[in-house]
Amino acid sequence: MKAVIVHSAGDIRWEDVPDPTVPPGWVRVAVKAVGVCTSDIGRALHGSAYHYPIVLGHEIGGLVVEVGERVDEAIVGRRVAVAPLIPCGRCEWCEHGRYSMCDNYDYLGSRRDGGCAEYVVAPERNLVFLPDNVSLEDAGVLEPASVTLHGLDKRVFANDDVVVLGAGNLGLFALQQALILGAGRVFVIDIINYRLDIAARLGAIPIQADANNDGTQVLMDYTNGRRADLVVDTCGVASVQANALAQVRKGGRIVFMGLPLKDACITPKNFNWLVRCEVELFGSWNSYSAPYPGTAWHANVNYLASGKLTTAPIITHRFPMRDADKAYRYLDEGHDNVIKVLLVN
């Protein structure tokens, strides 16, 4: 088969590799769509992979074409999304169904070869089956959509004012899901007009930020000084994360999903607000829960099938799989009009 092999940082080739074998309990999937995560850019171009060579791609949609022993052959031909985490099943976190925190996990597209190829193999339990009205392109971005829903689950309450920091693909999924879960108003703060326009079309109140304006005063004006019930960080920018404490109300909640590259420094004023106003802070990583791969995955499939959730304005660019190198470099250039890039077979 053909696969995108990252031999080292920046050395990316579309080349022949052996077809993967299918162990018992696993399946082979013909890959049709793979979402490009920003973490893939570091692995492909900047040397941050666990090892080289590596086949990247952990946001995978495709067709089941072969099954291993102990897997029902009736699923051959089914359309699926593939959850990339392979939990050990033995540590205390797996025993409690908190698979995102598994101590000994494997992972398609980072620790082992992933979906940037004609085929990928995965455990049967990692498959999420799709109804006819959910596309394989939808499947290619189901993983990031499930990341955001996992973080929002049980943290959005009826009529909440919610602030989403960042209008990338995670932010645009989070704003839609917050509304689905019953939020009253969702404010999205970003510096890029193109993204804010999409956020507005999806039902958000957009707030423009820049180097001299973090959007807090505009939020205060909208909420008559009360601030937001829930602030959701999806951008991972340290300065923006620090500002979240200025945007949350007394007794409010903050969910951090982004991973910063710099120190996030909290001012004494904001730290006092955190302590005196009993603000709750939550970290949220990945998307997995019991029954595996998790409730967020199946809920999102239902939202997509019903039309409550859309990927159409989020998927902005498509590249043939063989041109993954071009896709990685294009995304790394930071064009304002890029939100989500798909690689397609």
Level-2 CATH architecture, domain 146-283: 3-Layer(aba) Sandwich (3.40)
| DSSP E strand stretches across 133-247 | 161-165, 185-190, 205-208, 228-233
Q: Is the pLDDT of residue 204 over 90?
A: yes
Q: Determine the average pLDDT of the residues in 244-266.
A: 93
Q: Please give the structure tokens belonging to residue 62.
A: 């495709």
**Quick one: CA dihedral 344, 324, 258, 248, positive or negative?**
negative
Q: How far is CA 110 from the centre of its chain?
A: 15
The CATH number corresponding to 2-141+314-344 among 1.10.287.1120, 3.40.1360.10, 3.90.180.10, 3.40.1000.10 equals 3.90.180.10
Higher per-residue confidence, 239 vs 175: 175
Domain chopping of the chain, boundaries: 2-141+314-344, 146-283
Q: How far is CA 187 from CA 43, 155, 213, in A?
A: 32, 16, 15
Q: Are 270 and 245 in contact (CB under 8 A)?
A: yes
* pLDDT tens, residue by residue, 79-127: 999 999 999 999 999 999 999 999 999 999 999 999 999 999 999 999 9
pLDDT score for 120: 98
For the cut 90, the answer to whether the pLDDT of residue 264 exceeds it is no
Strands (E) in the chain, as ranges, are 2-8, 11-16, 26-36, 59-67, 79-82, 85-86, 106-107, 119-123, 127-129, 161-165, 185-190, 205-208, 228-233, 248-256, 280-283, 315-320, 340-344
pLDDT at 220 over 90: yes
Q: Pull the structure tokens for residue 234.
A: 């999806």
SS3 content of the chain, % helix, strand, coil (to 5): 30, 30, 40
The Cα 282–Cα 263 span in angstroms is: 18
Per the listing, tokens 């004012």 go with 161
* 228/272 Cα distance (integer angstroms): 17
* More confident: 211 or 186: 186
Tens digits of residue pLDDT in 323-345: 999 999 999 999 999 999 999 99
Note whether 115 and 58 are within 8 A (CB).
yes
Residue whose tokens read 């799989």: 321
**CA dist., res. 38 & res. 181, Å (int):** 27
Q: Which tokens in the block code for residue 121?
A: 């193999």
Q: Give the CA diameter of the chain.
A: 62
What's residue 326's pLDDT? Answer: 98
Return phi, psi of residue 28, to 5°. -110, 130
- CB 86 within 8 Å of CB 109: no
Does 261 have pLDDT greater than 90? no
pLDDT in tens, 292-335: 999 999 999 999 999 999 999 999 999 999 999 999 999 999 99
Bridge partners of residue 65, in order along the sequence: none
Q: Tell me which residue of 6, 64, 27 sits closest to 327, measured CA to CA.
A: 6
Residue indicated by tokens 């829903």: 149
211 pLDDT more than 90: no
**Average pLDDT along the chain:** 97
